[in-house]
């Protein structure tokens, strides 16, 4: 009795390699899409962290008993003891206090718009800031906050 040896033919090998190649292509495409989504989410998170920092700064620094003036792209808050000047400089939101500049936005956030509008006879200020990400300017964030600047007492 002659025993016949079984082997994989060239056609079967090509089919196996093709199936494996298709599987790897789908897997690589999946990982690339996850990486792209994760990168976009990370950049959006960086802008959100900038928003939170700027919002908290205004809530803690600019409180009641401040007067407010808007000059071109500069907002000035002042009271008896200090003057705070906010402006956009080189794509960053900058605070000028006692002649010293402090950058309020992260280096990855580009401040594209900064405006303040007086509300209710200078009782409050409506702050609007627009941010874009340095790495991808299509990723943007705009936020508005109401900041109380004058202590209003009813008679």
pLDDT tens digits, one per residue of 70-125? 777 788 888 788 888 888 888 888 998 888 899 988 888 888 888 888 787 667 78
pLDDT above 60 for 142? yes
The answer to whether the CB of 44 falls within 8 A of the CB of 139 is yes
What's the confidence (pLDDT) of residue 154?
45
Give the closest residue to 123 by CA, choosing from 106, 94, 147, 99: 147
* Dist CA 147 CA 145 (whole Å): 6
Neighbours of 44 (CB within 10 A): 15
Q: Which two tokens stand for residue 5?
A: 């040896």
Cα diameter, the chain: 116
What sign does the dihedral 36-111-130-52 (CA atoms) show?
A: positive
* Dist CA 63 CA 78 (whole Å): 10
Where are the domains positioned within the chain?
A: 10-148
pLDDT above 80 for 155? no
């Amino acid at each position: 009795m002659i025993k016949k040896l079984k082997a994989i033919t060239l056609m079967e090998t090509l089919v196996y390699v093709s199936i494996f190649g298709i599987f790897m292509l789908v897997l690589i495409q999946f990982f690339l899409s996850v990486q792209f989504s994760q990168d976009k989410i990370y950049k959006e998170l960086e802008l959100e962290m900038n928003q939170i920092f700027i919002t908290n700064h205004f809530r803690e620094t600019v409180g009641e008993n401040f007067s407010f003036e808007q000059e071109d792209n500069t907002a000035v808050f002042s009271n008896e003891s200090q003057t705070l000047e906010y402006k956009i400089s080189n794509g960053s939101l900058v605070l000028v206090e006692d002649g010293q500049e402090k950058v309020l936005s992260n280096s990855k956030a580009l401040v594209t718009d900064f405006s303040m509008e007086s509300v209710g006879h200078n009782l409050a200020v409506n702050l609007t800031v627009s941010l874009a990400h340095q790495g991808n300017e299509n990723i943007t964030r705009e936020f508005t906050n109401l900041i109380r600047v004058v202590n209003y007492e009813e008679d």
